[in-house]
Amino acid sequence: MSSLKDKRKEYLTVKDLQKVLDSCTLQLNQIDEVWPNIYIGNVAVAQNKASLLKLDDSTHFDLDVYFKPAADFIHKALKSPGGKVLVHCIMGMSRSSTLVLAYLMIYHHLPLKKALQKLIQKRAIYPNRNFLALLLDMELQLTRKKKTCQIL
């Protein structure tokens, strides 16, 4: 019985992730640099050309795309000379932060909990439960893929 309990503790739950998010003490700003040259902001910033010019970036992408294409987009943009990316949604809390979390997981190989901890040091974010569950699923897939590659 205790081994089953130990197995459960190996896996994070949405509730575990929400506890990490609840530990954030930052105030929500219109825009924050959450990772070098990656910004999360709200729609007001995205529609303000002066704000965008300060970032040297006017990139916009459809937030309904999958995690991998968004992560690929961010990665490619950051690799270009002077590359910066603004990831935004209406409030700059859930959808945009979910895409940045996916990027950090895919390209920086950060576990989801660690990625959340990094972002909440820079911005008040709160991905919704569905997005957290999707990120947990992706983390499982990435972990399985990594183990498969190590075996081969």
Tell me the two tokens of residue 65. Answer: 């795309």
Task: Taking the CA atoms of 73, 78, 81 and 86 in sequence, report the sign of the dihedral they define.
Answer: positive
- 79 membership: H or E segment, kind and range: helix 67-79
Active-site hit among 89, 112, 125, 135: 89
| 24 in catalytic set | no
The HSE-up count of residue 52 (CA atoms within 13 Å, CB side) is 15
Look up tokens 């070098």; give the residue.
36
CA 104 to chain centre: 6
- Which residues are identified as catalytic? 89
